[in-house]
Every structure is written in C-alpha cells, then in structure tokens.
Amino acid sequence: MEFTHLDKDQRPTMVDVSTKIPSERSATAECFVHLGPKIMAALAESGWSSKKGPILDTAIIAGTMGAKKTAELVPFCHPLNLKSVKIDIAPVDDTRLRIEARVKVCDQTGVEMEALTAASVAALTVYDMCKAVSKSIVIENTRLVEKTGGKSDYKHSQ
C-alpha cells in the first residue's frame, strides 16, 4: 500500500497533479445527526427554526461554505474551482437527520474531501444550533457514498 501524500523520503507533500488533464468529477458524502425523539419532535413543531434562525437552511449554507474552504482546512487538499455543491437534510426516522452533500468539479483532482467537509460542517451547524436543548447530540457515520471521475469510480456497498 502506498500513501500518496508522502514523498520518496517519507516526508509529507501535496500530490503533484500538474500533468493530469482536467475532467468532470463528483463525490457524494453523508452523515447522520442523532438528535433523539424529543429534539426531533420539538424541531418539527417549530418548523425547524430556533432562536438562532432556520436550522436546516443555516446548515446547508454552512456546509456549502465548508466545501469551498476545504483546502484551507485540510493541509494537502488542492484549492478547487467547485462547480456545484448541493446539500440535502432530511429526517430518516424520529431520532435522526441524514445529511447528504454532493459536489462537482471539472479539474485535475477529485472532490471527495469537499463532499465530506460539506456534510461534516452542515452536521456541526445542526449541533451548534440545537446544543442549548441537549448536549447528547451525536454526529455519526460520516462517509463517502460515491465518487465519479479520475482513475476510478467508487460506490459504497450497503
């Protein structure tokens, strides 16, 4: 197994993508926010709003901003000119929300980290906006669901 972010002397380095031809690439990531039945019911009753504002809309905006700032947060990520960031947040049952982030680019490297960052930042925003009600909120199962473009495609098998 070879890690791409190490040079021949095993020192950390950014991968050189300068000779790669730009191509369409996409990635989808997801995570779940376990709020519990009490918070979920209260949020549904309030129209998904709190004193801090509209929770889901704010999380979508924050997740989009997170995707755009990934290269500032993760040391060896390349700055990318993202073409699309779409975030969906919906209840999956009476205790959890599912956050899905889909990111697209036409570039020399993929957008897996941007999708993962978008989902994570959206989840952190939900946590921040709900933490006054409970500190027992859990963000769980952040993962890459699918990626296309580059050397190979990937789809997480359920």
Cα atoms in the 13 Å half-sphere on the side-chain side of 84: 12
The CA distance from 120 to 99, in Å, is 9
Structural domains present in the chain? 23-149 (3.30.70.640)
Do 147 and 25 touch, CB atoms closer than 8 A?
yes
pLDDT of residue 135: 87
128 carries an active-site annotation:
yes
pLDDT of residue 7: 74
Phi, psi of 134 (to 5 degrees): -160, 140
pLDDT of residue 3: 67
pLDDT of residue 23: 94
pLDDT of residue 34: 98
Residue by residue, pLDDT tens for the chain (158 residues) are: 666 767 777 777 788 888 899 999 999 999 999 999 999 999 999 899 888 889 999 999 999 999 999 999 999 999 999 999 999 999 999 999 999 999 999 999 999 999 999 999 999 999 999 998 888 999 999 999 999 998 899 999 86
Catalytic residue among 9, 93, 128, 153: 128
